[in-house]
């Protein structure tokens, strides 16, 4: 490549428009995800911590219920671990939806008492998720809250997975 052709190429590149308007209005979606800037407060962190402790208790409760019912050795998770920091990832959403769908089907097969306990656990996890989301809204840069936020996704999926695995036929269990 000669100096003149390199110069032409550089001029060509420099002449490209730097600004390209997004084809769609993105601001509403961005604004919906913005919360007031960090106002670090102990009560919020405590609330988030309490919520995640609640979620863990709920998960443990559910697991103990299912463990007592059947499934002596739960096999390893068959699902490929998604990226929990990108819950909008299409593959993640599809995998989660599929697992939740199976979870709902299996849940309906359980006796009412067990089902009620599992649904209560799920409600606790989701409440924790909501609490942490609110806390993140007040302190979006907090790595601790980010970690807690991700862990509630794990908790929810773990619950689905435990129910699905525990209610799977012994002949089809992986």
Task: Provide the binding-site residues for other proteins, judged by CB under 8 A.
Answer: 1-2, 5-6, 8-24, 26-27, 29-31, 33-34, 36-38, 83, 86, 88-89, 91, 140-141
Alpha helices for 70-173 (secondary structure H): 90-107, 112-138, 143-166
Check: CB of residue 39 under 8 Å from CB of residue 138. Answer: yes
CA atoms within 13 A on the CB side of 50: 8
Q: Which two structure tokens, joined as six digits, stand for 16?
A: 């490209």
* Residue 35 CB, nearest approach to other proteins (Å): 9
CA dist 61 and 145 (Å) reads 24
* Residue 162 CB, nearest approach to other proteins (Å): 26
Between 5 and 174, whose beta carbon lies closer to other proteins? 5
Between 63 and 92, whose beta carbon lies closer to other proteins? 92
* Residue 85 CB, nearest approach to other proteins (Å): 8
Scored b (16 or more CB within 10 A) or e, 103-114 reads beebbeebeeeb
* Residue 88 CB, nearest approach to other proteins (Å): 8
Between 96 and 106, whose beta carbon lies closer to other proteins? 96
Between 117 and 133, whose beta carbon lies closer to other proteins? 133
């Amino acid at each position: 490549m000669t100096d003149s052709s390199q110069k032409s190429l550089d001029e060509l590149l420099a002449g490209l428009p730097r600004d390209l308007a997004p084809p769609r209005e993105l601001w509403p979606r961005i604004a919906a995800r913005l919360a007031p800037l960090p106002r670090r407060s102990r009560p919020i962190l405590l609330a988030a911590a309490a919520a995640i402790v609640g979620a863990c208790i709920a998960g443990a409760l559910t697991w103990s219920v299912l463990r007592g019912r059947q499934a002596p050795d739960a096999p390893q998770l068959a699902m490929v671990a998604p990226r929990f920091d990108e819950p909008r990832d299409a593959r993640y959403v599809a995998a989660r939806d599929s697992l939740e769908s199976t979870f709902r089907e299996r849940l309906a097969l359980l006796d009412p008492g067990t089902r009620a306990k599992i649904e209560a656990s799920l409600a606790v996890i989701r409440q924790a998720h909501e609490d942490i989301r609110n806390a993140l809204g007040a302190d979006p840069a907090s790595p601790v809250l980010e970690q807690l936020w991700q862990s509630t996704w794990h908790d929810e999926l773990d619950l689905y997975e435990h129910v699905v695995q525990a209610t799977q036929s012994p002949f089809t269990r992986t």
